[in-house]
Chain A
Amino acid sequence: MRGIPISALIGLVFTTAYFLAAILADLLAPYGMAEVVGGVWEPSSAEHWLGTDGIGRDLLSRMIYGGRTTILVATAATLLSFTLGSVLGFLAAVRGGWVDQLLSRLVDLMMSIPSLISALVVLSVMPVTLPVLILVMGILDATRVFRLSRAVAVDIAVMDYVEAARLRGERQGWIIAREILPNALSPLVAEMGLRFIFMVLFISTLSFLGLGVQPPLADWGGIVKENKDGIVYGIPAALIPAVAIATLAISVNLVADWVLNRTTSLKGGRGG
């Protein structure tokens, strides 16, 4: 653990805590997810640490279960976008020619429409379920991963050792997996943190608009939507997810910064 700067350590601790809370939600939450246990918008008390929500459910429990949904969806979508984006990006870089042209132009086209608008357009005809949300978010975001991984891989693909592997007669899959991937991993890992945050914001926004996670399932964006009417009466219940999202975003950012700095110092310069 030595050599980790304090900011990265704080980031790691908070990130781990959020993920643990998500995994252990059933054990940690004091009440059930959709269990009505008190009055409407009760202030915080010994029984309800964060108070209750608009229909009397325990807010702490909602936040914990909500964190589970939000983090699960964001993680799954990030994994999808990375697998899809990096495989296609590497393929475009190694193959070049018409494969590269086709994929790059397709990505340009997809990025010419803002992803929130694309998501809304698609969700207007698709059933809004968790797998569909993960798929839509993952595919839309894969365009950004594609650009990054292609840019990184294009630099690597002209290296002597890749040329040597080609001359040895290695297959393209082998070259991607054994020569390019290990060298492109560090910038991709740092980017993964940022994409994950973007996914958390994306799913929260969709849920807030009523087009993401559907009730009674809890998620952070949905909690804002359910409690927003209380704000004009001075009840801050809807603002609690802001704290959760912001701390998660900042701590993941701190970790990603550290990963990026560490890998750039290894290479003795900029890290692609």
Chain B
Amino acid sequence: MNPILKLLVQRIALGLVLLFAASVLIFVGTTILPGDVAQNILGQGATPQALENLRAQLGLNDPAYVRYFNWLGGVLQGDLGTALTNGQDIATSMGGRLWNTLFLAFWAAVVSVPLAILLGLIAVRYRDRWPDKVISTITLATVSVPEFLLGYIAIFLLSVTFPIAPSLAMINDSMSLGAKLQAISLPVLVLVLTVLGHMMRMTRAAILNVMQSAYIETAELKGLRPFTVIARHALPNAIAPVVNVVMLNMAYLVVGVVVVEVVFVYPGMGQYLVDHVAKRDVPVVQACGLVFAAVYISMNILADVISILTNPRLRHPK
């Protein structure tokens, strides 16, 4: 078997095992914990009969492993169960929201990745001079403020003081792409700011690391312009760590989206999850947790796969 293919298959198999284990963890986290789920849902004033009915409805009287495999079996067939609070099918209500969330994360990625790499290159080119310092200071400031506050600062500045963007990100299917992009401009801005700092700093560090190699000195001695040295010789060799950081931040985007969606009342997965945690709707929380974990784990595997493909040195593990 082709060695690269073998490595890739190994990584993907490992990811599947991890996802399976994560589903166990999510299930255990919501069922084996102290506290009676039925009691929690109905509150202290519930009658014993109501508690018993709800337990039977939730299947809480079966042993935990039976419930787990029933749940997992359903999930594998695309049946995520029904929500306790409104009795709706979870997969149906989640479908559109998942697309909205991916839409938001996608545009944040499209803006942030090239910007982070460009800023990283500039910071390396003007290392320890003012452009580097300005970029470092701004990115340090953006990572010190939680996403939801960045969101409100953005609303305060850009839709109240200078009204150029809407403060609520309402989108629906009938809107054109342009109108949708206008609606999500502020959430995208906030997401970009939250991931930009980390990505830019890691790009800078990765390129600086490569810059110490002998072949960079050779390139400099050949008389290449500094930016050409960085872009042609340093960047390709720094691709693997950069790709890794980019993918980790893409995975993080999917989480950051949870909070940002709540701030901008965006109809996505994060809002759905948070609403149902507050309502203690366990099946919805399990389903959302699983979807988020799946996206996160697949992003991490994708990061591994891309670094293997871009870095021949990783193909021959010692």
Chain B residues closer than 8 Å to A263, beta-carbon distance: none
A153-161, A171-179, A233-241: which lies at the interface:
A233-241
CB distance from B48 to the nearest CB of A (A): 20
Interface size on A, residues (CB 8 A): 42
Chain A residues closer than 8 Å to B160, beta-carbon distance: 231-234
CB distance from A253 to the nearest CB of B (A): 7
A228 to B152, Cβ gap below 8 A?
yes
A201 to B147, CA, bound (A): 9
Interface size on B, residues (CB 8 A): 54
A250 to B153, CA, bound (A): 18
A124 to B281, CA, bound (A): 7
B280 to A125, Cβ gap below 8 A?
yes
Chain A residues closer than 8 Å to B147, beta-carbon distance: 205
CB distance from A118 to the nearest CB of B (A): 7
A242 to B153, Cβ gap below 8 A?
yes
Chain A residues closer than 8 Å to B277, beta-carbon distance: 120-121, 123-124, 209, 211
B146 within 8 A of A: yes
A228 to B30, CA, bound (A): 31
A127 within 8 A of B: yes
A120 to B155, Cβ gap below 8 A?
no
Chain B residues closer than 8 Å to A241, beta-carbon distance: 149
A13 within 8 A of B: no
Chain B residues closer than 8 Å to A125, beta-carbon distance: 29-31, 33, 35, 37, 40, 280, 282
Give the contacts of B1-58 with A (CB-CB under 8 A): 18-19, 21-22, 25-26, 29-31, 33, 35, 37, 40
B274 within 8 A of A: yes
B292 to A114, Cβ gap below 8 A?
yes
A126 to B30, CA, bound (A): 9
A112 within 8 A of B: yes
Interface flags for B276-318 (1: CB within 8 Å of A; 0: not) read 1110111001101100110011001000000000000000000
A125 to B292, CA, bound (A): 18
CB distance from B75 to the nearest CB of A (A): 15
Give the contacts of A235-271 with B (CB-CB under 8 A): 236, 238-239, 241-242, 245-246, 249-250, 253
Q: A125-B30, A234-B161 are in contact. Are A113 and B152 (CB under 8 A)?
A: no
A102 within 8 A of B: no
Measured CB to CB, the nearest residue on chain B to A123 is B277
A124 to B280, CA, bound (A): 5
Chain B contact surface mostly: helix
B126 within 8 A of A: no
A210 to B285, CA, bound (A): 15
B169 within 8 A of A: no
A27 within 8 A of B: no
B184-192, B217-225, B254-262: which lies at the interface:
B254-262
B148 to A205, Cβ gap below 8 A?
yes
Q: A121-B26, A126-B35 are in contact. Are A114 and B285 (CB under 8 A)?
A: no
A17 within 8 A of B: no
Q: A117-B255, A250-B140 are in contact. Are A205 and B22 (CB under 8 A)?
A: no
CB distance from A100 to the nearest CB of B (A): 18
Interface flags for A17-55 (1: CB within 8 Å of B; 0: not) read 000000000000000000000000000000000000000
Chain A residues closer than 8 Å to B249, beta-carbon distance: none
A112's partner among B18, B155, B254, B281 (CB-CB below 8 A) is B18
A232's partner among B18, B167, B254, B300 (CB-CB below 8 A) is B167
CB distance from B275 to the nearest CB of A (A): 10
Q: A123-B277, A125-B30 are in contact. Are A116 and B255 (CB under 8 A)?
A: yes
Chain A residues closer than 8 Å to B296, beta-carbon distance: 112-114, 117
Q: A121-B285, A211-B277, A246-B144 are in contact. Are A112 and B153 (CB under 8 A)?
A: no
Chain A residues closer than 8 Å to B167, beta-carbon distance: 231-232
Q: A112-B300, A113-B293, A204-B146 are in contact. Are A239 and B152 (CB under 8 A)?
A: yes
Measured CB to CB, the nearest residue on chain A to B148 is A208
The 4 lowest CB-CB distance pairs between A and B, nearest first, are A249-B144, A242-B149, A124-B285, A114-B255
20 A–B pairs (Cβ distance < 8 Å), ordered by A: A112-B21, A112-B297, A113-B293, A113-B296, A114-B251, A114-B252, A117-B292, A121-B277, A122-B29, A124-B277, A204-B146, A205-B147, A208-B146, A209-B274, A209-B277, A221-B146, A224-B152, A234-B156, A249-B145, A253-B140
Further pairs besides A109-B25, A117-B293, A224-B152: 17, Cβ < 8 Å:
A112-B18, A112-B22, A112-B297, A114-B255, A114-B296, A117-B258, A121-B30, A124-B277, A124-B282, A126-B33, A208-B262, A210-B274, A224-B149, A242-B153, A246-B141, A249-B144, A253-B140
> Residues of B at under 8 Å CB distance from A?
18-19, 21-22, 25-26, 29-31, 33, 35, 37, 40, 140-141, 144-149, 152-153, 155-156, 159-161, 167, 251-252, 254-255, 258-259, 262-263, 273-274, 276-278, 280-282, 285-286, 288-289, 292-293, 296-297, 300
> Residues of A at under 8 Å CB distance from B?
108-110, 112-114, 116-118, 120-127, 197, 201, 204-205, 208-211, 221, 224, 228, 231-234, 236, 238-239, 241-242, 245-246, 249-250, 253
